[in-house]
Each structure stands twice: as structure tokens, then as C-alpha cells.
Amino acid sequence: MEKHVTGMNDLIAASLERPAGSEVAKALFASIWKWEHWRDGELIDKWADTNICTDEGLNNLLDVHFSKATQITQWHALIYNTDTTPVVGMTYAVKSFTESTHYSEVTRPLWQEGGVSSKSIDNSANKASFTMNTSETIYGAALVGGGSAATTKGDSAGGGVIYNVSDFSGGSKTVASDDVLKVTVTLQATDV
């Protein structure tokens, strides 16, 4: 308890009480997207962005681990070409962005994780790559999974899950035909 004398013979006393166990442990699920922009075999730009985890993605995470839902065993990266602010209410079936399909790979690049270590998992050994086949402007990316539909470029049918969305924080990126965008996506769980 602290006591302060304010003068004129007044005494003010205050104390702070907190119920036992009121400190609540919290956890944060996030990711870091590290991008490389290659042209004619030369690295011309690199940057990193964070993301938002969608409600659909976090619900899936809880459902699989605590409610015995079927695990999604393959996740894929996608890129989008509309100036869209990601929101947590996005779903795989109702995305508020337009996915770019203007790259040479037949399917969305597979996110090939390398195992969990220190509350983190990434695809640094096998970066997801997009070899562009036209010039366009890219605004961000997402990590999606669930069934064969999640491999299909431009698919928005139900059954998939959009785990997170990463808007390019430094603004859009203009790519040319034959440019390659490579991304390492690191998923993290942190006590906060």
C-alpha cells in the first residue's frame, strides 16, 4: 500500500488487489513470409511480411488438434493480383482477392515444411516458387490446404481452408514474364 500526504493534514491511501490466478497465459500464432524476386537469374529484390491468420485457419488448427478433425497434410502457396486488405473473416470459398494464375507451374506451389523446431516450422529447404508467364502486379499471398482443390490454381470451391493471408506491406510488386518469385513461409507459435 502506498501513502501520500497532499498537505493540509490530508492522507490518501491506495492499494491494488488482483485475484489469484488472474494472469492469463496467451499464445500468438503468426508467420513471416520472406520473398525473393529473381529476374534473368539475378536477385533484384527481397522483403519480408507478416500475416493475419483467418478465423477459418485458426478454427481448423483447433479442430484438428483438440476435436479429432482430419488433418490437412498438404498446404500450398498462392499469390493474388488485386489490391485487397486481408480480413480474418476470409474463407477458402469466399476470398476477397483475385488469385493470380499467371505462372508456369501447373499447380499452386507446395509448401514443403521441414519439421518443427523451437515452436517454428518453415519451408526454407524447398522455397515455393512462382515462374511468371506474363507481366502483372502482385499484392500478396496466402497459404491454403484441404483436398485436391487446394492444388488447383484459381480454385475457390468449398472444402479447402485458407490458413493465413500476407499482404505486401511495402506495396505491390510489378513482375515481368519469366520473373520468379520465391517465398519461405515460417509459421510460429509464441507465448505472449
The predicted model scores a pTM of 0.84
Q: Tell me which residue range forms the domain holding 89.
A: 24-191
Lowest mean pLDDT among 14-28, 101-115, 142-156, 162-176: 14-28
Residue 12 — very low, low, confident or very high, per pLDDT cuts 50/70/90? Answer: very low
Rg (CA), the chain: 22
171, 145, 111, 169: CA torsion to nearest 10: 10
- The pLDDT score that the predictor gives to residue 150 is 85
Average pLDDT of the residues in 114-139: 96
Domain membership flag for residue 3: no
- The pLDDT score that the predictor gives to residue 18 is 53
Provide the grid cell at 25: 497465459
Domain membership flag for residue 32: yes
165 by DSSP, 3-state: which?
Answer: strand
- The pLDDT score that the predictor gives to residue 29 is 86
Domain membership flag for residue 128: yes
Domain membership flag for residue 16: no
52, 61, 149, 83: CA torsion to nearest 10: -10
- The pLDDT score that the predictor gives to residue 157 is 78
Domains identified in the chain, total number: 1
Domain membership flag for residue 9: no
Domain membership flag for residue 12: no
- The pLDDT score that the predictor gives to residue 57 is 93
- The pLDDT score that the predictor gives to residue 14 is 45
Domain membership flag for residue 116: yes
- The pLDDT score that the predictor gives to residue 23 is 60
